[in-house]
Structure 1
Amino acid sequence: MDVHDPRPPEDSGLVVRDLAVNYGPVLALRGVSLNVPRGSIVTVLGGNGAGKSTLLRAVSGTLRFQRGGITAGEISFDRVRLSGAAASAVVAGGVVQVPEGRRVFARMTVEENLRAGALGARDRRSAAEARQDVLTLFPVLAERAGQRAGLLSGGEQQMLAIGRALMARPRMLLLDEPTLGLAPMMAARIADTVREINARGTTVLLVEQNAAMALSLASYAYVLEVGEVVLSGPAAELAESDEVRRRYLGIEARSEDDRDDRDAPLAAASAGRPVLTRWSA
């Protein structure tokens, strides 16, 4: 499979084409293209410094807060151009980011954090409906409504960060490392929550270093290295790629004999499936 996205451009959903981003003289992204069709979960994998968070900032319009900027390419969501738009305009357009590190308002209560997420709501009824949806998704937030956010556990803070984003009733959610620093059990709960959010109709672009979890959630995946897309394909196929397994799943490549013995039924069942292109080590 080609390292560039082979799928045709989508009229709906997120479309990124030939994106380049600089932080001053430093080139952080170069020629990045990806599609996130409406209603899907797409994940972006890569090591530290690969450009994953920069990609989300470019989409959400928050690059300028880190003194970065788009120098080439285009971003659109549901046919509306986002390239160069202010962060507030991106949120108004239905795209909301949950940043890495949770970043809740620690001195404000849980309830106040949720209200902050609804500042752009059309009316009180819409805000009330969003709040009810969030509390149904995260019942613990109802129990902690009057508690300062800084006193919540790490997992509860992540729930609050996601819930605050959902208060804006997004059509697309950008998630940056939602399981970072969480215990395995809590990480699994967050993964289940992402599935539920998507099942309710919200499109998700997921940046996540827990590659196994990310690939289990997503239908399609991209791999970034040093600011470029080096591999892309259906998530299930990337999960079977020896290079992805070695670099991101911590699994050594299987021998040819093992592959022949264990994968013969799968290979026969999937005859004609495109072969993933590997990149040089």
Structure 2
Amino acid sequence: MDVHDPRPPEGSGLIVRDLAVSYGPVAALRGVSLEVPRGSIVTVLGGNGAGKSTLLRAVSGTLGFHRGGVTAGEVRFDGARLSGTAASSVVAAGVVQVPEGRRVFARMTVEENLRAGALGARDRRAAAESRDRVLTLFPVLAERARQRAGLLSGGEQQMLAIGRALMARPRMLLLDEPTLGLAPMMAARIAETVREINGQGTTVLLVEQNAAMALSLASHAYVLEVGEVVLSGPAGELAASDEVRRRYLGVEDDGDDGNGGGGDGGPAARTSGGARRDLSASPRPVLARWSA
């Protein structure tokens, strides 16, 4: 490939194919497939219990900590198989997750939390560079360096959680509800930071209930319902569809009688066999649905 060719090599980025996950007898994901090209931001939308966090755990290798397991399908990153490998191996491959709820080490200082994120690093110079990058992104962490993480505000804890993940120098960041519970101004700040992190070359898979924010950041989006991908397409096209606007953005179009537009979006509204369909009576973009 030409070194000046901006297109990523074939197979680069994250590829999830026909993934099935169970927690004991309970099936959490069924036949989930998605792609996150290198250098992109891709978002996964869905309500509570749709399987969004489970998907990230399957990618990061942390399902076992939650008594879950992959029962079918595979996960690959830059051509290397991740499914079936330990979480530490996934981090070593360049994929790092920021879990829902921040999960900072409350009794440790901010500085100690950041150092914990670089425990696998053998290059002290690289670790120092990562720390400088984090403190440039989040100057408040430098001010709070000796403060216990449990005393930080919710927004500051989210900054610390993201910063700790960046200390591992990830090529891909998995973000699970990074704006959950944050005030709108702080949520906007986190969103802008995600954009900046991506602009510096880090690929991002974003799980987020703030659909408007997620769709504004992402180039492509997937919608999960009850463990299945029911819709996928360019983020701008999903944001423009009546069904997504009504269900995830809280927008009711004028003149919608409930039978036109995107329908109710429930199971009866789905197509089968991987078919494509228009989500509204008006000429909205046609979005793809993966077959289960």
Change (3 A) 1:122 1:151: same
Write the mapping of 1:60-99 to structure 2, written as runs, cut at 5 A.
60-99=60-99
When the two structures are superposed, what TM-score results if normalisation uses the length of structure 1? 0.89
Q: Which amino acid aligns with 2:152?
A: L
Q: 2:240·2:285 contact (CA, 8 Å) conserved in 1?
A: no
Displaced runs of 4 or more, over 4 A: none
Q: Which amino acid aligns with 1:117?
A: G
1:276 equivalent in structure 2: 287
Taking the aligned partners of 2:71 and 2:211, their CA distance within structure 1 comes to: 29
Q: 1:242·1:254 contact (CA, 8 Å) conserved in 2?
A: no
Q: Which amino acid aligns with 1:100?
A: E
Q: Deviations over 1:141-172 (max 9, x none)?
A: 00000000000000000000000000000000
Taking the aligned partners of 1:183 and 1:176, their CA distance within structure 2 comes to: 17
Taking the aligned partners of 2:254 and 2:284, their CA distance within structure 1 comes to: 20
1:239 equivalent in structure 2: 239
2:156 equivalent in structure 1: 156
1:40 equivalent in structure 2: 40
1:222 equivalent in structure 2: 222
Q: 1:98·1:175 contact (CA, 8 Å) conserved in 2?
A: yes
Residue 277 of structure 1 and its aligned partner are, at CA, apart by 6.1
2:255 equivalent in structure 1: 255
Q: Which amino acid aligns with 2:37?
A: P
Which structure 2 residue ranges, 5 or more long, are not aligned?
Answer: 1-8, 257-282
Q: 2:106·2:149 contact (CA, 8 Å) conserved in 1?
A: yes
2:51 equivalent in structure 1: 51
Corresponding residue SS for 1:89: helix
RMSD: 1.9
Q: 2:127·2:167 contact (CA, 8 Å) conserved in 1?
A: yes
Taking the aligned partners of 1:121 and 1:157, their CA distance within structure 2 comes to: 23
Corresponding residue SS for 1:74: strand
Q: Which amino acid aligns with 1:178?
A: P
Residue 122 of structure 1 and its aligned partner are, at CA, apart by 2.7
Residue 121 of structure 1 and its aligned partner are, at CA, apart by 1.0
Write the mapping of 1:187-226 to structure 2, written as runs, cut at 5 A.
187-226=187-226
Taking the aligned partners of 2:254 and 2:248, their CA distance within structure 1 comes to: 15
Which structure 1 residue ranges, 5 or more long, are not aligned?
Answer: 1-8, 257-271
Structure number with higher helix proportion: 1
1:117 equivalent in structure 2: 117
Q: Which amino acid aligns with 2:232?
A: S
Q: 2:233·2:288 contact (CA, 8 Å) conserved in 1?
A: no
2:279 equivalent in structure 1: none
Residue 123 of structure 1 and its aligned partner are, at CA, apart by 1.2
